[in-house]
Structure 1
Amino acid sequence: MIEITKNEKEKAILVSLNKDHLSNEIITEHLTELEELALTAGAEVLHKIIQNNRPADKATYIGKGKVEEIRLLVENNEKITLLIFDDDLTPIQVRNLEEIIKRKIVDRSGLILDIFATRAKTKEAKTQVELAQLQYMLPRLTRAWTHLSKQYGGIGTKGPGETQIETDRRIIRTRISLLKEKLIKIEKQRSTQSQGRNNFLRIALVGYTNAGKSTLFNLLTDSNVFAENKLFATLDSTTRHLTIKNEKILLSDTVGFIRKLPTNLIASFKSTLSEVKDADIIFHVIDFSHPYYEDHIKVVENTLKNLGCEKTIQYKIFNKIDAVTDHNKIDYVRNTYNNCFIIS
């Protein structure tokens, strides 16, 4: 896995493009979530910038006018070293933005991958994160080497630069192949292990990140799985055995989902998410206190559909009711959702 070294907090600007004509409330909520991701990654957010109601610009994503506005802002504040975008950018867009603004540019996938790299603890999680990182990095190598050439001058960096890029690409492709082979072996091991679990009822806890899955898991299984009020506190699946009314149950806690979760990351975590795919029942844990909990439900349901789990028996568990003051919300949930429980 590519290790991430954390020193002093980087000062950041968050940037969002409202290309789908969303309301100000929703865009603000999206930026709030992006800020939580940035804080989890170790950044300090100084400004939030929204470009409203325009299509994505192929060259700079947000358009020349907004880029110039940001350039002037950072020019007067040397503390700002980082711009974080709430969408994925193309390598060309990142290159153009960095050349104009003279600051590091990170898109949403790059930010989430950074967090996963920091959070990964087991060999399996580290392997999965490294695979996703390398797949993300591969098309972006040209940008890195172009900047190296411009920063240090032309002699000794022009021709060899391209050769080095090709060398790096071959190294990364070879490493990707090795990591995929590793994960195939892990998946086979999991499949073998699951064959011995046929006599158990298998239940998987899923949900939006920070919905309270691990806390509920610890309560049900009397365990001490790491639970923290931060995004992606859990990366590795944890399974525990319990018996309820003579029914033998295997309960699994899994990685949280989030809006715009990188596709490479979902694919890389295939072996970890097998606990969800193989489950007989899915408990979908929801942070009922969150103002946009219904949007979170849709994100999780879409992710489960992508995993091929839409036909698995599902129960919705509306968590953190103690933080809900509007009793009409409770009546609404009871009347709207089947197979649901409300807990605190």
Structure 2
Amino acid sequence: MAAGLNLQPQIASGLLYLDLSNQGLTSIPEEVFDITDLEVLNVSNNKLTCIPEAIGRLQKLARLHADGNLLTSLPQAIGSLQQLTHLYIHNNQLTEVPSGVCSLSNLEVFTVSNNNLSTFPPGVEKLQKLRDLRIRGNQLTEVPPGVCSLSNLEVLGVGKNPIRRLPDDVTRLFRLKTLSVPNCQFDEFPRQVLQLKTLEKLYAGGCKFDIVPDELGNLQHLRFLSLENNLLRTLPSTLSRLHNLRVVQLWNNKFDTFPEVLCELPAMEKLDISNSNITKLPTALHRADKLKDLDVSGNPLTYPPKDVSEEGTGAIMAFLKQEAEKGELCSQADKNETIVAYTI
């Protein structure tokens, strides 16, 4: 099995590292488990169906990359790797996670997205150093009990699960910066999210929302907002408070008119509002002078004219600015005429 493979570990970022990724492996060579000083093992993107219990011999292992394989289970011995800080097992065929994982008290990053999990092991609340938990693309019907007790959690990804609501105590995640809930099955926008004042990125596409609550404007640190693939026709005026918002994704919604509140976002650099029913862009959009990437394709736009729209963001913004200035000149001329008429 080891023929042709380089089983000589290297030092990378100060850690003893063995990279066996993308080798077409169906099993991990036994010799690997003799490298007892190994700190990082990468066996991602192979054809592994299991990881042997011998993994327990690698007691110094800090990072295990086993994503992109055909794993249907994990060894119980994984729970003995007490130095483990990063565990990547996404893109496999796991139906369960051994309970021992919840005893990995130093674990900081745990990704188990795109598997076949329908119940998470109890004891998640013991992973108090966990900063990043990604469990999207499974069969979970709820956020695992205990997740909301992880006071150091900064990233939580639970999208593409048949989850109907978020737990009320998600508000206890007072360090959360990124929340990803796309393609869940919420009955309405989860209002608990609107109390997460530290949030910087919110991914909530494909949830069939038709209304976004006004309280969205309370998320003052928000830099990235993803609400594509919903049923939105309007946006709350409170969005104008989000002075740090840089990226807004709104494609595949039901807007008949361009939401004017988007013109009030001073930091906005990228806006995708393609594939709706918008016929006209407001001239006020030119005030978003940091906007360098605007996608309005797939809308029945008549203003700006098609030839302008097809030239891209720069041409559109220049056109809107020119039109706004023309409007201001006309307005001033009308005002002057009124004054003259009044004095006569």
Query: With structure 2 as the length reference, what TM-score do the two structures score?
Result: 0.25
Higher Cα Rg, which structure? 2
Task: Identify the structure with bigger relative contact order (alpha carbons < 8 Å, sequence gap 6+).
Answer: 1
Query: With structure 1 as the length reference, what TM-score do the two structures score?
Result: 0.25
Structure with the higher fraction of residues in strand conformation: 1
